[in-house]
Amino acid sequence: MKYGKFAAVYDGLMEDIPYDKYVEWVASHVPSGKLLDVACGTGGLSQLFAEMGYDVTASDLSEDMLTVANQRFQEANQSIPVLQLSMDNLEGLSGFDIVTIAIDSLNYLQDEQQVQQTFKEAYKALNSGGHFFFDVHSIVKVDEVYMASPFVYDAEEIAYIWHTEPGEAEHSVIHDMTFFVQHNELFERFEETHEQRTFSVDVYTKWLEAAGFSVESVTADFSDQVPDKESERIFFHAKKA
């Protein structure tokens, strides 16, 4: 999907996401190597991985997101290749030790076959013994937590009103967001609609194994804990044989 003007405000809205914990999670299992950051967004996580010494390649479908990512990398004097690719079509990429799909990016795939194809693409991109890390929204987050909208965010230069409603598919959500972004003394208003869908841990596990992965761990909420009925974000670590 295209994020449009959302790319320009994305970093401010994501400032509470503990990207450093994501890097620590990956590094605790694979401390170095060639890493493909799929659905990299504006490149914040890619940058941290590069600072840790990983050989990083970043990809995303959104041209707007990649424009911001490229600027970030240039300002940091980082040589990170950037590719405009869909996560379910990585066009023959191979030779990676690590593939990441971070911060619920996988949930933007609405079709079951797309998710399964994405797992196959990650598998093909990895070297033998390579590692696949990703996280998704839990079912309770999509079906219950998100349904407590509207949510309101009001910062100095950005504000938004965020409404949600159930999507057509099971365990899916439609996010309707109205943003107000300050430019000099005026605020610009724009709207974004995003759709996400999730599946159960058992379903993700089945699809990973069908793609050829062994599931090394399933944890929750940036911790080492096993998911429970209250968990909101589920983390998967899988390995290619």
Query: Is the peptide bond prior to 166 cis by the omega test (within 30 degrees of 0)?
Result: no
Q: Which residue has the higher pLDDT, 203 or 159?
A: 203
Give domain limits for the chain. Answer: 6-137+199-240, 141-196
Helix (H, G, I), strand (E, B) or coil at 94: coil
Give the DSSP H or E segment for 46. helix 44-51
Q: In terms of Cα–Cα distance, which of 233, 90, 167, 19 is closest to 10?
A: 19
Q: Architecture of 141-196 per CATH?
A: Single Sheet (2.20)
pLDDT at 98: 98
Give the DSSP H or E segment for 160. strand 158-166
Count CA within 13 A, CB hemisphere, residue 76: 17
Buried b (16+ CB within 10 A) or exposed e, 193-214: ebbbbbbebeebbebbeebbbe
Query: What are the tokens at 91?
Result: 């066009």
What is the rounded average pLDDT for all residues in the chain?
A: 92
pTM of the model: 0.92
Identify the DSSP state of 17.
Answer: S
**Euclidean distance between CA atoms 103 and 235, whole angstroms:** 10
Residues 142-196: tens digit of each pLDDT? 999 999 999 998 877 888 899 999 999 999 999 998 988 887 778 888 888 999 9
CB atoms within 10 A of CB 188: 10
Q: Architecture of 6-137+199-240 per CATH?
A: 3-Layer(aba) Sandwich (3.40)
pLDDT at 8: 53
Q: Which residue has the higher pLDDT, 122 or 41?
A: 122
Residues 13-23: tens digit of each pLDDT? 666 789 999 99
pLDDT at 106: 98
